[in-house]
Amino acid sequence: MEIDYVFEALASTPRRKILAYLSEATLTAGEIAARFDMSKPALSKHLKILEQAKLISSERKGQFIEYRLADKNMMVSLTNMLATFCPVGSGLKKESTAIARSKDKTTKQE
C-alpha cells in the first residue's frame, strides 16, 4: 500500500532530519549531505526513499538537483493515517466495533 512507504520513510532519524531541513528551505543534494556525517551515496538513498514516499520532490537545476518538501502529499498521508486510527471507518474498525459489541452483550448476560 502507498501509506506503507510513508511510514517506512519516516522510521529513520536521518530521514526525519532531512524533512526538517527542507521544512523551510529548498536544498541541493550536496547541501543536504554537507549537514550529515554520512557519505553522499548514503544520503542519496535516503532522499530516494523520501521521494518514493512522495514526502519530497526533486528538480534538476543544471548540475545540481534541488530537493523540496512535497508537503501537500505529506498532509494527505498523515491525515489518512489519523483517519485510520481515529473515528472514520475502515473494515478493521468495523470489526473492532463488532467485537466490542459482542463482548458487551456477553458481559451483561452474566
By CB under 7 A, name the binding residues for DNA: 8, 11-12, 14, 28-31, 33, 38-49, 58, 60, 62-65
80 binds a copy of itself (CB under 8 A): no
CB closer to a copy of itself out of 20 and 42: 20
| Residue among 41 and 87 whose Cβ is closer to a copy of itself | 87
- Strands 27-28, 56-61: pairing kind: unpaired
Tell which positions 13-72 bind a copy of itself, by CB under 8 A: 13, 16-17, 19-27, 31, 69, 71
| Exposure b/e, 5-36, CB count within 10 A at least 16 = b | bbeebbeeeebeebbebbeeeebbbeebbeee
Residues 41, 45: Cα–Cα separation, whole Å? 6
Please, which residue, 41 or 91, has the CB nearer to a copy of itself?
91
The residues that bridge with 61 in the sheet, in sequence order, are 64
Dihedral sign, Cα of residue 16, residue 19, residue 24, residue 30 = positive
The least CB distance from residue 104 to DNA, in Å, is 18
Q: How far is the CB of 6 from a copy of itself (least distance, A)?
A: 9
